[in-house]
């Protein structure tokens, strides 16, 4: 594995707002575009220079249109205007600035974001997300809870939150434990980037399409009369694209299931050291760069998430973030990785063995204003 890089983390916020029934529409901002094509709703993320980093106004508009379309559209297509990214970033820096200024509404950012995640996860009609390019953090939240996710050979998937002292969120507590072979624990602890066909192999994408055919796929999707032909169409593109993509060397061929079988971070590190292979020791070194507190929080969330619904997982993540953002390592991680960019965070505590269980317990307290999802 290559050395860990500073990664832009996606944090989205979503507002629940109904809009009037429409046949065509346009966003108040060109950062996200909306249109109705026949009986299909189309959302196009349109901030290519920012790798489609999502802002609060964009999320409010996305949620508004999703609410309107759920009773009028056959399905929703979510795509990007960028060749580089589906959705790679959001503004955790702004959240931390609010915390620093003592503004009490900082948590509303997550409150609205998670409401959107749940809306997508319980959406009554299919959503097809074309996750072409970088898809990280909140970009994952926009896509993974929907029915269909189509990857290409240029898809880059990651949940790298522990690198900045945060927890994998946007429902990661729900979906990571459900990946096979301890892959979810590996992704949570290391922030590893899955690329191309591995995103489909992992079960994160449901289908695959060569990037050179992605425009053809979009045209074919919008030509459908209704949602009944979706599955067959997506499978046909997957089958025609799989021939050369399966030749890609796969990270999933590594011994992830055995090496990441322990429930605790310390147990995983011990297993990696006992294995002693080059790859195992590289993973150990990567884990040691992460916030010890964030790692232990992630381990507990992962273990509890196995038995939670998406709604319960989002509520638990919201509760944990009430302390993790203002009082945990998040402030220092954002400073070191995203603001000063010295990449030298001073974690507190700095060692896993110094993070006491009682300290981790203190994060798992019900929020004063609990997250309510309907």
Active site residue 138: yes
Beta strand extents in 110-190 (DSSP E only)? 127-131, 134-136, 148-151, 156-158
Beta strand extents in the chain (DSSP E only)? 32-37, 40-45, 75-80, 85-87, 127-131, 134-136, 148-151, 156-158, 194-195, 207-208
Q: How many residues does the chain have?
A: 374
Per-residue b/e over 168-199, b at no fewer than 16 CB within 10 Å?
Answer: bbbbbbbbbbebebbbbbbbbbbbbbbbbbbb
Helices 56-69, 108-121: axis angle to 10 degrees equals: 30
User: Using CA atoms, how far apart are residues 106 and 293, in angstroms rounded to an integer?
Assistant: 21
> Strand, helix or coil at 21?
coil
- Residue 333, both tokens: 């991680």
User: Using CA atoms, how far apart are residues 72 and 74, in angstroms rounded to an integer?
Assistant: 7
DSSP annotation string for 264-299: SHHHHHHHHHHH--HHHHHHHHHHHHS-HHHHHHHH
Pairing relationship of beta strands 75-80 and 85-87 according to DSSP bridges = unpaired
User: Using CA atoms, how far apart are residues 141 and 75, in angstroms rounded to an integer?
Assistant: 18
> Strand, helix or coil at 75?
strand
CB 208 within 8 A of CB 197: yes
Active site residue 282: no
| Contacts with 43 (C-beta within 8 Å, 6 or more apart), sequence order | 32, 33, 34, 62, 65, 76, 77, 78, 79
Residue written as token pair 């884990």: 287
Taking phi first (over 0 means left), then psi (-120 to 50 degrees means alpha), and beta for anything else, what does residue 17 get?
beta
Given the residues 15, 41, 89, 90, the one annotated as active site = 90
Given the residues 138, 139, 184, 305, the one annotated as active site = 138
Given the residues 31, 153, 169, 329, the one annotated as active site = 169
Active site residue 276: no
Active site residue 340: no
Q: What are the catalytic residues?
A: 90, 138, 161, 169
């Amino acid at each position: 594995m290559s050395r860990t890089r500073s990664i832009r983390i996606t944090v989205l916020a979503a507002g629940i707002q109904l809009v009037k029934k429409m046949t065509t529409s346009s966003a108040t901002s060109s950062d996200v575009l909306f249109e109705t094509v026949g009986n299909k709703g189309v959302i196009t993320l349109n901030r290519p220079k920012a790798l489609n980093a999502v802002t609060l106004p964009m999320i409010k508009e996305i949620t508004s249109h999703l609410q309107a379309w759920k009773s009028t559209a056959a399905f929703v297509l979510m795509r990007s205007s960028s060749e580089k990214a589906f959705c790679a970033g959001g503004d955790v820096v702004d959240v931390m600035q609010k915390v620093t200024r003592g503004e009490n509404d900082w948590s509303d950012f997550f409150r609205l974001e998670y409401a959107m995640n749940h809306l997508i996860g319980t959406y009554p009609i299919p959503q097809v997300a074309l996750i072409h390019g970088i898809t990280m953090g909140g970009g994952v939240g926009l896509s993974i809870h929907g029915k269909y996710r189509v990857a290409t050979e240029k898809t880059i998937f990651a949940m790298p939150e522990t690198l900045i002292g945060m927890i994998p969120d946007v429902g990661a507590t729900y979906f990571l434990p459900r990946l096979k072979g301890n892959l979810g624990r590996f992704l949570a602890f290391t922030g590893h980037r899955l690329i191309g066909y591995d995103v489909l192999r992992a079960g994160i994408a449901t289908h695959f399409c060569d990037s050179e055919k992605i425009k053809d796929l979009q045209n074919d999707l919008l030509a459908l009369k209704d949602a009944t032909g979706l599955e067959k169409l997506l499978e046909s593109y997957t089958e025609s694209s799989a021939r050369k993509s399966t030749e890609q060397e796969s990270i999933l061929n590594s011994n992830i299931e055995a090496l990441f079988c322990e429930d605790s971070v310390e147990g995983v590190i011990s297993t990696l050291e006992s294995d002693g292979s080059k790859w195992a020791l590289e993973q150990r070194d990567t884990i040691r760069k992460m916030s010890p507190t964030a790692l232990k929080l992630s381990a507990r969330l992962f273990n509890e998430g196995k038995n939670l619904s998406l709604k319960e997982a989002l509520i638990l993540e919201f509760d944990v973030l009430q302390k993790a953002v203002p009082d945990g390592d998040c402030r220092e991680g954002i400073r070191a990785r995203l603001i000063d960019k010295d990449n030298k965070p001073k974690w507190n505590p700095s060692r896993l063995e110094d993070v006491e269980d009682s300290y981790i317990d203190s994060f798992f307290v019900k929020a004063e204003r609990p997250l309510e999802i309907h």
